[in-house]
Amino acid sequence: MESNVTVHRVVRDKKKPGQYIEPHSHPFFHYLFGLAGHVRMHAAETDFVVPPGGLAMIPPGIEHSIHSLDDSCSLNIKFTCEGCLAKPAAQLPLFLPLIGDYQQVLLKNLLEEAVLQRAGSAELVSLRMYELLLL
């Protein structure tokens, strides 16, 4: 069975203490990986704080808000996932307080590749996201 993962947007996002993004939802996955500082998220009636190395995994259609608790920096990835991985990806926990070193390297490399925008970068970014989902 095939799966298709397409990354639509990769953004390194810096926020000042107290910055708040009102509750909203997307028709795609929204992953937020903590790089520095702390971000409080509210999603599916659950509150959690994303520290450096933590990963919030918001599936499509889930309302969520974001509140920076201090000077924070996060990697925001917005993507679609179709095929055999779509359902398992949507059922992952909303939050992992700390992901493994390899997964962190994958995410940082994904950002680096997205910034470089070389020939083939879009495909490499989506492949790295696919690998992260498999892990």
How far apart are alpha carbons 43 and 66 in whole angstroms? Answer: 9
Q: What is the pLDDT of residues 30-75, one digit of tens each?
A: 999 999 999 999 999 999 999 999 999 999 999 999 999 999 999 9
Q: Tell me phi and psi for residue 71, to 5 degrees.
A: -65, 115
- Is 23's pLDDT higher than 80? yes
User: For residue 21, what is the DSSP state?
Assistant: E
d(CA 135, CA 133): 5
In whole angstroms, give the CA distance from residue 45 to residue 30: 17
* CA 18 – CA 106 distance, rounded (Å): 29
Helix (H, G, I), strand (E, B) or coil at 122: helix
* Domain 3-134 architecture: Sandwich (2.60)
The percent of residues above 70 in pLDDT, for the chain, comes to 99
Answer yes or no: is pLDDT of 104 > 70: yes
pTM of the model: 0.94
